[in-house]
Every structure is written in C-alpha cells, then in structure tokens.
Amino acid sequence: MAERNIKIAPSILSADFGQLGSQVKAVSDAGADYIHIDAMDGHFVPNLSLGPDLVAAIRPYSDKVFDVHLMLEKPDPFIPAFAKAGADIITVHAECNPHLHRTLTLIKDAGKKVGLAINPSTPIEVLTPIIDQLDLILVMTINPGFGGQKFIPTMLPKISAVRQMITETGRDIDLEIDGGVYPETTAPAAVKAGANVLVSGTGIFKAEEGYEHAIRALRAA
Ligand code: DX5
Ligand code: ZN
C-alpha cells in the first residue's frame, strides 16, 4: 500500500457547545488538520445541529480547513451561506437529491472544495458519473445523525472499493470516513482499507488523555 498522508478531522458535534470557540482553537493547536462541522436539518437525519451563523462565529478561532458536512434534505439554498461563513470543503449527501450534478456545481461555483457523502446502505456506483467533480468522498461508517455510534465493519470493503475508484481517476481525492473512529481499533483498519481523512468526535473531544494525545494516536493509525 502506498504511504498516505493521514489527516485528522475532529467533529465538533461532540465538543462543549458552551465553549465552542476555545475548543476549536484547542483542537487546532493540538494538531487537527480539518475541523469537521456537522449540519443537520431534522429531516434528512433525525437530529438538529449547526448552521452557517455558527460556522462564521467559530471561523476566527482556527486557520485549519473547515470541513462542512451537510446532512440536509435540501442543501442547495444553504450552500452560498455556508461558503460565505467560511467553509473550505462543503460535503452533501448523495441520497438527498436527484440532481447531484447541479448541487456539486453550486459548491464549485461558490469557490469551495466539493465533497460527496454516501450512507452505509448506498452503493458506490452512485459516484461513477460525477467522480470528476469531487475533491472528497465521505464514506459514512455509521448511519448519520448522532455521535457516539458503533463503526459498521462491513464498510471496510466499501472503503477499499472507493479507494480503487479514486486510484483509477489518477486524481488526488480525499477519502474520508466518519463515525465510530478510534485509534486502536477502527482507525487502523480503515486506513489499511484506504481512508486518508479520519473524522472523530467522541474519540477526540471525550478522550481522557486530552486532544493532543488523541490526535497523535489517530494519526499513528
Ligand atoms: C454523525 C456525524 C459525525 C459524528 C461522529 O452524523 O456525521 O461527524 O460527530 O461522531 P463519533 O466520532 O462520535 O462517531
Ligand atoms: Zn460528520
């Protein structure tokens, strides 16, 4: 397997919302590469979370890449607002929309990196017709909506298959995984399968030994 540069993306869904600015700064100082920001609408997933105003509010606390994961049934009207708020990568879900090409074009036209997420039950073939538009592919390793869930092990062969697809494009597309990622167990297996961006909420923000230790341990995967 080729040596890959592993990027760590703390998911602020597990942070203390009362201290979000200082927590974003703390994980940035502790070595995070991306700050993963989960936006949920209560329709696409059964939970509500963060919007563009919050992204703008925490932007001054970090110069890291803001990796915005939109779990929205209708993302299109919100793409300009997230772009203006300071997102660097905007990821939408393949399942949300029968007009993915249009949605991905909107992200590109907003001057942002383009991400596409696929749920555990979504076949990877959905990527084929639009892979040339993508800078990042997010393979969900849980059903989205909540932090603290268990990694679904059957996602490992899916990660390998997506890595194969990326290799065939000859382009440098990030392969991100999200959900149930921990240093000793799931992270090494996922990296071995081909993941290079590891999202972790609980694994970093609730780590007993602190952020820096957790981020280093994940990177060592
Ligand atoms: C869930 C979110 C994740 C979540 C991961 O829908 O997309 O980013 O925060 O949480 P952990 O790392 O706790 O599984
Ligand atoms: Zn996420």
Contact between 141 and 121 (Cβ < 8 Å): no
Whole-number pLDDT of residue 221: 86
Global pTM value: 0.98
Catalytic site positions: 38, 178
Q: Is the CB of 33 under 6 A from ligand 1?
A: no
- Average pLDDT value over all residues in the chain: 97
Whether residue 148 has its Cβ less than 6 Å from ligand 1: yes
Is the CB of 144 inside a 6 Å radius of any atom of ligand 1? Answer: yes
What count of other Cβ atoms lies within 10 Å of the Cβ of residue 99? 11
pLDDT at 69 over 70: yes
User: d(Cα 83, Cα 81) in Å, to the nearest integer?
Assistant: 5
Residues 18-55 have pLDDT tens digits of: 999 999 999 999 999 999 999 999 999 999 999 999 99
pLDDT value at position 201? 98
Instruction: State pLDDT tens for residues 112-135.
Output: 999 999 999 999 999 999 999 999
Q: Is the pLDDT of residue 158 over 70?
A: yes
Nearest CA to ligand 1 atom 10: 147
